[in-house]
Amino acid sequence: MSNGTDVSLNRTPLHALHVAAGGRMVPFAGYDMPVQYKLGILKEHLHTRAAAGLFDVSHMGQFVLRGSGRGEALEKLIPADVLGLAEGRMRYSQFTNAAGGILDDFMISNCGSFLGLVVNAACKEADIGHLEANLPNGCTLEYLDSKALLALQGPKAVEVLARHCDISFESFPFMSFREATVAGIAVTLSRSGYTGEDGFEISVEAEHAVLLAETLTGEVDVELIGLGARDSLRLEAGLCLYGHDIDETTSPVEAGLVWSIGKRRREEGGFTGDQVILRHIAEGTGRKRVGLKPEGRAPLREHAVISNSNGDPVGGITSGGFGPTLGGPVAMGYVRTDCAEMGTSLSAELRGKPVAVDVVAMPAVPSRYFRMKK
């Protein structure tokens, strides 16, 4: 645990605010980050589900990709349909390797004259190297290190923002973005997040981040939320954590991310690892990522071995913990495809003893993203 004075770690523009708010600071992806505040992880989690939570995600990497042919260049590295992405819209994808594994997962935005990317904190240096090594002449990559990134998540996020921002949220669907002014501060609002709730990620110049955060947390419905609740929220929402649920050894198909691969890309290929990934789509895979519901109240953790009714190992847990919304443990992991059907009864080891585990649908808690009525 850090006391907020570890100079070997990077700090976000909100570091002093976290310390002043009683944040318990820990090393994370090279940054000194708050894992929780005075409320504690359980109450922070439940507050986000009931009202609105403000997360500092400034450790993430924000990039801009410019130049003619930028969409075609990016499509050679990822399986998403970039060319079909409408201006003002966003898409989730993955950098893949020759073996069909995932180097990182990230968000893409079509900003008209450029593409915006938001990548994982622990991978951003590698992502910069990967992009720069593969971009053609005429395409340039800019790392927006002058920007902070906040996430306002929860059912009251719109109500809170509406008091400080004069835009129409009824015509602002999930996975889209707008340039806006919040409390007099110029920002880019994207209707997205990592909690399963409606909400926004807010990109802002670092020099204005503290004022923005103080404005939002000044609202009675908003609490600062740390990394601990961010993890339990995304776990209940069935969302992957890079380096745990997905990595260089897992393909998007094994991970249940086929929905992120556009129809044209499935038909044409043309991206790194396409032969493996397209074969997985056509022929299936030997394992699948599944939701898991352990019996009892004790949470099962990453690396726990999953076995079938005969006691044969058939997989392992990649993320697990206590789900405050559920009032019990929640997990996800990979199992042999013949064990991946909903309702399959398996077991996992907890402190040397078997615990019954059922394969269940994801997300464990229904998502509440805002989708406009057609």
Between CA 352 and CA 90 the distance in angstroms is 45
Across the range 160-178, mean pLDDT stands at 96
- Asked which of 109, 143, 177 is the last residue of a domain, the reply is 143
Is residue 253, in this structure, part of any structural domain at all? no
Between CA 70 and CA 324 the distance in angstroms is 43
Span 191-232, pLDDT tens digits:
999 999 999 999 999 999 999 999 999 999 999 999 999 999
Given a cut of 60, whether residue 178 has pLDDT beyond it is yes
Is residue 34, in this structure, part of any structural domain at all? yes
Across the range 341-352, mean pLDDT stands at 95
Phi-psi region of 60 (alpha: psi -120 to 50; beta: other; left: phi over 0): beta
pLDDT score of 321: 97
pLDDT > 70 fraction of the chain, expressed in percent and rounded: 98
pLDDT score of 50: 98
Is residue 247, in this structure, part of any structural domain at all? no
Q: Is the dihedral of CA 112, 115, 120, 125 positive or negative?
A: negative
pLDDT score of 300: 96
Q: Please give the residue range of the domain that contains residue 111.
A: 61-143
Looking at the fold, whether 135 and 169 belong to one and the same domain comes out as no
pLDDT band at 1 (very low <50, low <70, confident <90, very high): very low
Looking at the fold, whether 229 and 331 belong to one and the same domain comes out as no
pLDDT score of 3: 47
Q: Which residues does 307 contact at the CB level (< 8 Å), separation at least 6?
A: 313, 314, 346, 347, 348, 349, 354
Looking at the fold, whether 79 and 186 belong to one and the same domain comes out as no
What distances in angstroms separate CA 138 from CA 72, 109, 132, 303, one per listed residue? 12, 20, 12, 44
Is residue 245, in this structure, part of any structural domain at all? no
Instruction: Please report how the helices 227-236 and 41-50 are oriented relative to each other, as an axis angle in degrees rounded to 10.
Output: 60
* Whether 322 contacts 329, CB under 8 Å: yes
Is residue 211, in this structure, part of any structural domain at all? yes
Q: What is the CATH number of the domain that holds 101?
A: 3.30.70.1400
Tally of domains within the chain = 3
Span 44-93, pLDDT tens digits:
999 999 999 999 999 999 999 999 999 999 999 999 999 999 999 999 99
Span 79-135, pLDDT tens digits:
999 999 999 999 999 999 999 999 999 999 999 999 999 999 999 999 999 999 999
Looking at the fold, whether 168 and 22 belong to one and the same domain comes out as yes
pLDDT score of 5: 52
Looking at the fold, whether 117 and 161 belong to one and the same domain comes out as no
Is residue 365, in this structure, part of any structural domain at all? no
pLDDT score of 372: 76
pLDDT score of 132: 97
pLDDT score of 153: 98
Looking at the fold, whether 169 and 43 belong to one and the same domain comes out as yes
Looking at the fold, whether 292 and 351 belong to one and the same domain comes out as yes
Looking at the fold, whether 163 and 40 belong to one and the same domain comes out as yes
